[in-house]
Structure formats: C-alpha cells, structure tokens
Structure 1
Amino acid sequence: MTIPKELEKILEITKEQNTWRRKETLNLIASENVMSPVAESVYMSDYMSRYAEGKPYKRFYQGTKYVDEIETLTMDLMNQVTSSKFCDMRPISGTVANAAVFRVLANPGDKALIAPVQAGAHVSHTRFGTLGALGIEHIELPFDKENINVDVDKSIKMIEEVKPKFVVMGGSLYLFPHPAKELSPHIHAVGAKLVYDAAHVYGLIAGKAWSNPLDDGADFLNVSTHKTFPGPQGGAIFSNNEDYYKPVSRTIFPWFVSNHHLHRLPATAVTALEMREFGEEYASQIVRNAKKLAESLASLGFKVVGEHLGYTKSHQVAVDVRPQGGGAKAAKTLEEANIIVNKNLLPYDGPEAVSNPSGLRIGVQEMTRFGMKEGEMEEIASLFKKVLIDGKEPSQIKREVMEMRKGYLSVKYTFQDGEWEQKFSSKVIPMII
C-alpha cells in the first residue's frame, strides 16, 4: 500500500510543532501550559472516542460505567483543590462555563455589570461575545487607572443604581485580583449574583497563591483547566450554593454541550492530584517568577506596566512596547527569535488599537513548570533586551534561546520520578500498539 503524501505531511507538521514548541522555544503565552507526562499518558485513551450525554449515572447512552466513575472522581478531586462543594466538569472551555451561568442568571434584555476591558475583561463577558449572543446588556464597571483595577467606590454606587442580574469579575489581561470581597456584599444587597471568571488564575487559587473568590463572596467560580492550572484544555464551574448550582448544572446539557470531550477527565484528575501535592510550591514560584521578570525588564529599560504597584501579583507581566514599534511588531520579532508572546491592549489603548496595541502580555507559568526560577527570568529579560532594544538579529538570539531551552525539557511539579516509573508506568496502556 502506498502511503499518501498528505499523511506524511501531517506527521511531519505535527513532529515539527512538537519539537519547536516543546524543545526550542520560550513559551510565554499567558493562556497556555503543558500537561505532565503522567497526565498526557491518560489523555490518550479510549475515552476520546466515546459519548456520555447527561450527568454521571444519568446518561442517555449505554457503555458509560467507567465514564461515570472517572467523572465523579475528577469532580471530587477538583472540589478538594478548590475548597468547593459543587463542581461541573462538562463545560469544554471557560467561555462555555460562562455561557451556562449567564444563561441561567439573566434573560434577554437584563443587565449585567462586567469588569471593564481595561481591567482585563474577557470577550465572553461582553456584548461582542457570550453576553451579546444571549441578548444580555453589558455595562462596564468604573475603572481605576491608578490601581489598574475596578474602582470600588464608584462601582458600589453603580451596582446600587443599575441593580444588575449579575456582576462579572476576573479577566484576561490580569495583573491584580479584582475586588470580590469588597463588592460582593453590595452585589448581594441588590439581589444580584457574583460570577468570578478565574480562567487565567485558577492554578494560583488552587495553589493558594491567591485568595479563593468563593470565600470572598463569589456565587460562581468559572475556570479554564489549562492556563495556570496545568491540565488539558477545558472548563469547569464551581459553587458552594446548591440552589444556585443546580439550575446551571441542568443547563449545560443540552443548551451548550452535548458530549463533553471525555478524554479530558482522567488528565484533569491527574492534574488535580499534582496540584494537591505540588500546587502551593508551583503557584508561589509562578508569582515570584512573574515579579522577577517584570523587575528585570524594567531594569533593562522596558516600560513595564504597574511599577508603583509592584508590577504584578499574577502569572502575567504587561509591557508597553510603543518605543520598540508597538505590540504587533514586537511580538513578531520575538517569535523570530523563538520567544513566544502575544500582543495585547493595555489599559490606555482604545479598541481601534486591537491590530497593533501598545503592549505585550507575558505569562511565566509554562516555563515555571519546566523548572525555571528567578535566575532564568533575568536571562529571559536580557534576551528581550537584545531583540527589542539592542536590535540584534533575531536569528542570532534564536540560537541562544534554543541553547537555553536544552536545560529545561522536563516537566516539574509532578509524580514523574523513579518511584512512579517503577510502580505505575507499566499500568498505562498505550493507545498505539
């Protein structure tokens, strides 16, 4: 049999992707991460071929007895690391998690208050995304430019005047926690709910580097499972209030999800165990690395956002690169040097700047998981300087990046050691025999 040329091409492209992003680049996209070899080994399983519409033990398909078992175990483990009572793993993304909650909390024409775009609101919070699709009116909370955050005093007044159905905090460009604790009493006083979108910072919450919004008054905690939480791509919804949780859980299927990509479940369960064991160490190192990278970039001449606030308390660093030609040019030039970041609007950018915003958004969580610490953050900052300030050829710096990356190829904060290999590696059944 002749092997199709297209098959050869598919395998070649996939191998090139794996080699480039796993072995040759500094991956600093704030919304990405890598799974451990343990999690990846169970991700490639028969679950990826199966359907399980409905809830555990209440399915619309046969053949789901092991799906029920793994989904229940995953929810239990996720509740453990989140310190929550109720969890639904069926949203296949953070955006789907938002959609299910928004749909239950408001009807078309109702009002929702969201963190302003300048404070990092995700597109799903806006009229251009999920809120708009559901016909819910989006009104932005006042923004405190000095503190790069929601303005608490002005927001209290707006909440009392508007009386929204719900308020959304959390976001995408996200340097500092949003004031859930300060605003939640006022939100509840007008009969509204607080939805906290922790997609980006869920790993920091699970690792206790950030306070838990559920403890600060949030009614729902919506997350992604693949950013600072280093699992497979997917979403989840948490709550401590059964009366609020039940109607949302009934809405996910069939409104927003049919099958919920079952191979995510064992990989997410493994990641929850890793976070239970190593999460505090991992999350605290992420925060230290982000702060060190910000300080190092600033010391080398970059305009790092939030200097008077200590730059960042999250996994992210925001840099104004207008002196270096703007976000689009800077991100492209860095990619030529195998440094992967994304261009990003900064608080003072208007929406018209979306194609060439002022800034870069940098995330340190993936490189932290490969074992990098404060010293490596200083090295990364120097590479940024060589490319964007000194004007050295990206191809020259690319060689330095590839050499640096050789020392950071193994995932840390996991069970992958000699003892694990001896006890469990033989129990993982490979899909390709």
Structure 2
Amino acid sequence: MVSEEVKRIRKEVKKHHKLMKESIPLIASENLLSPLAKEMLISDFSHRYAEGEPGKRYYQGCRYIDEVEVEATNLAKEMFNADFADVRPISGVLANLSAFFGLFESGDKLMSLSVPDGGHISHRKHSAAGLREFDINKIPFDKEKLNIKVEKTLEKIKKIEPDLILLGGSVFLFPHPIEKIKGTAEDVGAKIIYDGAHVLGLIAGGKFQDPLREGADLVTGSTHKTFPGPQGGLIYGSSKYEEKIKETIFPGLVSNHHLHHVAALGVTLGEMKYFAEDYATQIIDNAKALAENLYNKGLDVMGKQNGFTSSHQVLVDVSRFDSGRKVANKLEEANIIVNRNLIPSDKVGETESGIRLGVQELTRLGMEEEEMKMLSKWIADLVMEKTEQDKIKEKVIELKESFNDLHYCYEGKRANPYKYIDLVNK
C-alpha cells in the first residue's frame, strides 16, 4: 500500500523526467551521470557511514569502502597531476570552505571577483567567504573582455597585500591569468586558490588551463558540471597543504561523506581518463558555435573581443528585449532551459540583464555544431519574438527524440539518462 503523499511525490518526479526528456537543458551547472556511475548511487554504499580516512575509520565494515575511496583518490591525483586530492567534500562550496578554514584566519584579506563580474556567491560576503569573516576586496575586472585586469590587479595586490587570491567563478568564459599574478602574489605572501567548479571537466581534458602548473596552490571544484560525475566536491593541490585540508574536512566540515557519491565519482574519473579530451574539445566547439550563431542572429552575446567563450558557457545580454528572468521564463515555455544571470553592468540585488547558457549536457548527448546552429535560431526567434513558443516547443521535442543516449562514457547507448527507473510497480 503506497500512501497518497508518496504517490504525489513519485508523480511529480516522473513528470520532471518527462520534461527533461523533451527539453533542451542549457543550465551551466548540470550534467548527466553515465550508467555505470548511476549504478553506484543505488548501491549499498548509500546506506553506510565511513567517518575518517581509509584504514582509520571509526566504524567497522568499511574494508571495501576503503578500497573504493583509495581508488577514486588515486584516479583524481592522476587525472589532475596533483600531489594530493581529497574526494570527501560533498559540494564545491564545502571544498572552498575546507581551504578557507584550513589555511586562513578570521580577518585575513581576500581578493575575489564580484558576483556581477562572474564570482561565485561562495567567494563573497554573505556566503562561505563571509563565514570565515574575511576582509573581502574586489578583483579589478574588464567588463568588455570579461576577464581580470592584470595590471590593476597587480597594483591592488601590492597595495593591500592579501592573504588569499581566489580565482575562478560562476560565469567563467576565459582562462584566468594565474601565471601573470603568481609572482606578485608570492612577493606579498598570498596564496592562490582556483575555484574550478565549472571548468573541472575542461581541465581534465587539457582544454582550458592547468591551474596547478600555472601557479595555483590549490584547486577546488564541483564534480557535476563540465565534469560529468555525481553532485559533490573535490579539492587537490600541493602536498604541503594536505594535512590541514584533511583535518578541516573531517571532522571539521563533513562527518560521513556520501559514500555512494565517492564510488560514482571514482567510476566517472575512470571513464574520463579515456573520454575527457574528446569531450572537452567538443564542449568548447559547441559553445563557440552557439555563441557565434546567436550573435549573427542579432543577440548581444558578450565577450566578442575574446571570441565569445573558451569554456562551456555563453553569456547573453538580453536587456534590449526584456529582463533576464522574463526571457528565461519565455524560453522555458518552449522547453529550452536556461538561467537568468547578472552581467558586469548589473548590481547585486538588481534585476538580471542576462541569461547564461551551458552546452556540456547537450554535448554529453552527442549534439554538435549543426545542432547549435539550429538551437541558436530558435533562441533568437523567441527572444526577439519572431516565432510563437508552441511552434518552437514542437521542434525542440522532435530534436530531442534523436538525442537521448549518452556519449563519452562506457555503455552509453544502453540507457536513456532521462528514463525513470521504476523499482516499485505501484
């Protein structure tokens, strides 16, 4: 007997699966798990606890869990050519917090991007950085080139002598100038932490930048954006920070670290050893194609001076037509899923003037430049109100029917990622 409440929950989840199956998902923070990684999420690991580190657990029954965690950790170290890696953070924000609390003190000076300039909320006052009570200072940003102003940043580093320079971001179109900042940072004793949450999969594929080799002390990240693993976090870098980071993660920030996610991450790391380069290459090709075609169709795609994008993201100023929120809602009615976004000319708390698009999930489904060209026309027509939503929605559903298998993983053709797995036939 299944209660009415549970029936309603299952019904809504099934409706969501149908929506995603029939939609063009362009949320830059999302991706799809491979069948083998998804298998890990429903394993018995999801029921268990393993506080501590492999071989030093507080509970018994962890011998196989230990082996999986060691394997996943070694794969992460190998993939990112790092002295140490920790797969226990359960989100990208917790990976950031592990660095903030492990290596810095309350009142230390932080330089980071503002949110309108692309900085993540965890880099600013009212989130993770604020919890550490940093003295937060803004990194100078070029609003046309959509990247850091190097000379102005170097001047500011010399002037305020920060303890931490936090690079990376939530809107992250182009590699950040780590090498150009590193020398001056060292001169004043500042550490560089690179938040690679959005671009971790591109880094794994060797197609964006290599933060450690360019001078970052630590790299934090999410494991589910361009990196197509389970939702979670990762931190890696120099071994001289390893013990402080590990102690901060446990027992400081995490008790049990979601063992089924660790297993799924290990599987994804194993798959990405073989697929990351091709996957990252096609992601960037698709993003460039989408951006260029949107621009050619009359939309104000940002970053033109630098070729629009070098990552999975495209940023569009839609203020000539409407607010970012209303444009995103209009696109959603046609089953094109994007998010409204602040752009550098906006202020926090104001109505968003832009929309942000990410192509990593569509790439995972096998879409390439030709589909990006088709999609750009539909988006432009909707934004400029040249075509009715219902007509484009029909085209979206028709296109998506041909792209419901996974690529760049093992056994991708065997499982539709949007299929609801019905374990109880009631």
Q: Does the aligned pair in 2 maintain the 1:116–1:142 contact within 8 Å?
A: no
Cα distance between partner residues in 2 of 1:144 and 1:308: 11
User: Is the CA contact (8 Å cut-off) linking 1:105 and 1:166 kept in structure 2?
Assistant: no
Name 1:242's counterpart in structure 2.
Answer: 239
Cα offset for 1:248? 1.1
Percent sequence identity is: 43
Which of 366, 369, 392 is the equivalent residue of 2:361? 366
Measure how far apart 1:431 and its partner are.
Answer: 8.5
Contact kept, 8 Å, 2:122 with 2:129, in 1: the verdict is: yes
Structure 2 match to 1:136: 134
Match for residue 427 of structure 1? none
Matches of 1:17 and 1:336, distance apart in 2: 14
Among residues 250, 253, 256, which one is paired with 1:256 in the alignment? 253
Q: Residues 6-405 of structure 1 correspond to what in structure 2 (within 5 A)?
A: 6-21=5-20, 23-239=21-237, 241-353=238-350, 356-405=351-400
In structure 2, C-alpha distance between the alignment counterparts of 1:6 and 1:130, rounded to whole Å: 35
Classify the secondary structure of the residue corresponding to 1:113. Answer: strand
Per-residue CA deviation, residues 309-339 of structure 1 (Å, 9 max, x unaligned), is 1000010000011122120100000001000
Cα distance in structure 2, aligned partners of 1:8 and 1:350: 43
Shifted more, 327-336 versus 5-14: the winner is 5-14
CA distance in 2, matches of 1:173, 1:139: 19
What RMSD, in angstroms, separates the aligned Cα atoms of the two structures?
1.7
Deviations 1:63-111 (A, max 9, x none): 1111111000001111111111200011100100000101122211111
Query: Are 1:51 and 1:262, in contact at CA under 8 Å, matched by a contact in 2?
Result: yes
CA offset at residue 37 of structure 1? Answer: 1.3
Q: Which is worse superposed, 156-165 or 169-178? A: 156-165
Give the 4+ runs in structure 1 shifted more than 4 A: 430-433
Q: Is the 8 A contact 1:167 1:192 kept in 2?
A: yes
Q: Tell me, what secondary structure is at the counterpart of 1:117? A: coil
- What is the TM-score with the length of structure 2 in the denominator? 0.95
* Structure 2 spans left out of the alignment, 5+ residues: 416-421
Tell me how far apart the structure 2 counterparts of residues 106 and 83 of structure 1 sit (CA, whole Å): 25
Contact 2:115 2:342 in 1 (8 A): no
Q: Is the 8 Å Cα contact of residues 164 and 190 (structure 2) preserved in structure 1?
A: yes
Structure 2 counterpart of 1:94, which letter? G
Q: How many residues align?
A: 419
What residue in structure 2 maps to residue 426 of structure 1? Answer: none
The Cα offsets for residues 355-399 of structure 1, whole Å up to 9 and x where unpaired, read as x31100000000000000000000110111221213432222111
Task: Please report the TM-score for the alignment, with normalisation by the length of structure 1.
Answer: 0.94
CA distance in 1, matches of 2:35, 2:378: 29
1:424 aligned residue: none
What are the ranges of 5 or more consecutive residues in structure 1 without an aligned counterpart?
422-429
Could you say if the C-alpha distance between residues 145 and 18 of structure 1 is closer, same or farther in structure 2, counting changes exceeding 3 Å? Answer: same
Q: CA deviation at 1:417?
A: 6.3
Contact (CA 8 Å) 1:29, 1:363: kept in 2 or not?
yes
User: d(CA) in 1 for partners of 2:292 and 2:104?
Assistant: 43
